[in-house]
Amino acid sequence: MAVRNGRTVRDLRRANRTAVLQRLYFDGPLSRFELGPATGLSSGSVSNVVADLVADGLVEEAGSVDSDGGRPRTLLRVAPASGHMIGVDVGETRVRVELFDLTLTELARAELPLEQQRYEVEVIVDHIRSGIAEVLGAARLAPERLLGVGIGVPGIVEHTPDRGAVVHGQTIGWDAVPLESLLRAESLLPDSVPCFIDNGARTLGQAEMWFGAGRGAGNALVVLFGSGVGACLVTPEVEQGRAVEWGHLTVRVRGRRCRCGALGCLEAYAGAESLLARWREEGGRVPGGTDEETALTAMLAAAYPADGAAPDPVALAVLEETAEYLGAGLSDLINLFQPERILMGGWAGLQLGSRFLPAVRRHALSYALRHPAGKVTIELGSLGPDAVTVGAAILPLADFFARGGRRPDPDPESPPPAWHTALRERTPR
């Protein structure tokens, strides 16, 4: 049955369930009385929706609170065990896989190093499959109980009708890799469990906006600083976030060769891979036989010795130059998008941390136009090294919200809103 604006009764019920679930998820526990003004629904609609969600096992009681002279009001919350998601971070040094309950509490994790194989497609696909099997086994969870799997990858992700998500990762040697199709082949996941693949900087940004240092900001940039650099832009026009290939902004004409093949990209000066290469070229003592994270730790210890010894002048000079390049790159983002907040995450950004950030901030503000520079704050992200996996797990979670807390509907003629609709409808508080 259709209602006046073209939406069916089924659509309205789903929207009402979504509204109640999201308010309980982000602002709960709440009473039925509080859910009315929080969702804009009538008391009768709230009672009906809550009854449905309790019957489905999605909502449970969470104590009570005194009312003004009346009976105590029962508090409600989303039931953590009513759904599970997997988040995957295809990172520079490892593939990290984490299993979460519905409230994004970690239940199990697997970390599979890339070592010298780097981004060989077969290795990445095998690591993702093995990691999913490992976390499901550790939690003794059947694959059918998953709401979905979210995967953050480097590169541009194109969603195609015939091959699913296709990854264009020029810097890692991936040319239109049909990652979703490859994962589905011989997968332990049933076809009913959806798979969501997106750019890693975007999943990082979404995690910080929902649960981290981006909460409350309507216009923000979240920067991923790892082997390379990337960014996620969140504005009122693109509230679900948009990946920005910021690392391939040209900062020096006829400059260093970037791993994408071009000359003078920001990533050729500011990514951890190039930072360590420049230290080595200048005569720095880069530890041999170690991964980038270990080598960067050694570089930081050399530049900022904890025992009061004299710093390594080469390491210190390269880090200071890198801070200026990063700051100059951020100034372009400030001038272009005028964000109110910039957050720096990624394993290298977190490793460099508060010791490095003041110099980056100083250079960014000095290169940017005065007016937008006066309105922006530049800080570290707050979710730590798991931010990309948390953001990846948000993809199936948002799809679940968009469906009103129901699993994928087999009826193809009544598709629910896409997962990015739920991302857009979520207002960080």
pLDDT band of 304, cuts 50, 70, 90: confident
Let me know if 406 is exposed, middle or buried by CB neighbors in 10 A (0-12, 13-18, 19+): middle
CATH topology of domain 213-381: Nucleotidyltransferase; domain 5 (3.30.420)
**DSSP codes joined into one string, 334-364:** HHHH--SEEEEESHHHHHHHHHHHHHHHHHH
Which structure tokens are listed for 357? 């950030």
What is the mean predicted confidence (pLDDT) over 101-118?
87
Strands across the sheet containing 94-101: 106-113, 94-101, 84-90, 146-153, 195-199
Q: Is the four-CA dihedral 147, 151, 156, 162 of positive or negative sign?
A: negative
The predicted-structure confidence for 29-52, as pLDDT tens digits, reads as follows 998 988 988 888 888 999 999 999
Q: What residues have CB less than 8 Å from 60, skipping those under 6 apart?
A: 54, 76, 77, 78, 79
Percent of the chain exceeding pLDDT 90 equals: 45
- Report CA Rg, the chain: 23
Domain 82-201+385-401 matches domain 213-381 at the CATH topology level? yes
- Residue 372 region by backbone torsions, left for phi larger than 0, else alpha for psi between -120 and 50, else beta: alpha
427 pLDDT exceeds 50?
Answer: no
What is the mean predicted confidence (pLDDT) over 232-259?
80
Q: What local confidence, expressed as pLDDT, does residue 417 receive?
A: 43
Let me know if 47 is exposed, middle or buried by CB neighbors in 10 A (0-12, 13-18, 19+): middle
Let me know: does 317 contact 282? Beta carbons within 8 Å: yes
Let me know: does 148 contact 163? Beta carbons within 8 Å: no
423 pLDDT exceeds 60?
Answer: no
**DSSP codes joined into one string, 243-312:** EE-GGGSB-STT-PBPTTS-BSBTHHHHSHHHHHHHHHHTT--PPTT--HHHHHHHHHHHHS-TTSPPP-
Token pair 């109640």 is found at 20
Determine the Cα–Cα distance for residues 60 and 76; give it in Å rounded to an integer: 6
The predicted-structure confidence for 190-228, as pLDDT tens digits, reads as follows 888 999 999 988 898 889 988 888 888 888 999 988 888
Q: What local confidence, expressed as pLDDT, does residue 245 receive?
A: 84
Q: What local confidence, expressed as pLDDT, does residue 416 receive?
A: 44
Domain boundaries, the chain: 9-76, 82-201+385-401, 213-381
Determine the Cα–Cα distance for residues 295 and 133; give it in Å rounded to an integer: 31
pLDDT band of 424, cuts 50, 70, 90: very low
What is the mean predicted confidence (pLDDT) over 392-398?
93
CATH topology of domain 9-76: Arc Repressor Mutant, subunit A (1.10.10)
CATH topology of domain 82-201+385-401: Nucleotidyltransferase; domain 5 (3.30.420)
Of 11 and 375, the structure prediction assigns the larger pLDDT to: 375
